[in-house]
């Protein structure tokens, strides 16, 4: 029983690290897409003010 506890703790830590890494990836991708959307929205406004 003493061998299972460290193995379970290690498995839990690995799973938590993988979950956090995936969540950080999702947040980064959504932030990049928001930046793209904002730049698309700004660009026509800039051309209208220049023209």
Q: Give the DSSP H/E element, type plus range, for residue 21.
A: helix 4-50
* pTM beyond cutoff 0.75: no
Contacts of residue 50, Cβ cutoff 8 Å, sequence gap at least 6: none
Task: Look at 29 and 46; give whichever has higher pLDDT.
Answer: 29
Q: Is the pLDDT of residue 29 over 90?
A: no
What does the pLDDT read at residue 6?
87
Where b means 16+ CB within 10 Å and e means fewer, 24-49 reads eeeeeeeeeeeeeeeeeeeeeeeeee
């Amino acid at each position: 029983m003493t061998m299972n506890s460290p193995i379970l703790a290690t498995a839990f830590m690995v799973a938590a690290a993988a979950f956090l890494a995936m969540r950080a990836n999702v947040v980064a991708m959504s932030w990049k897409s928001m930046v793209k959307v904002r730049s698309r929205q700004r660009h026509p406004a800039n051309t209208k003010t220049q023209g």
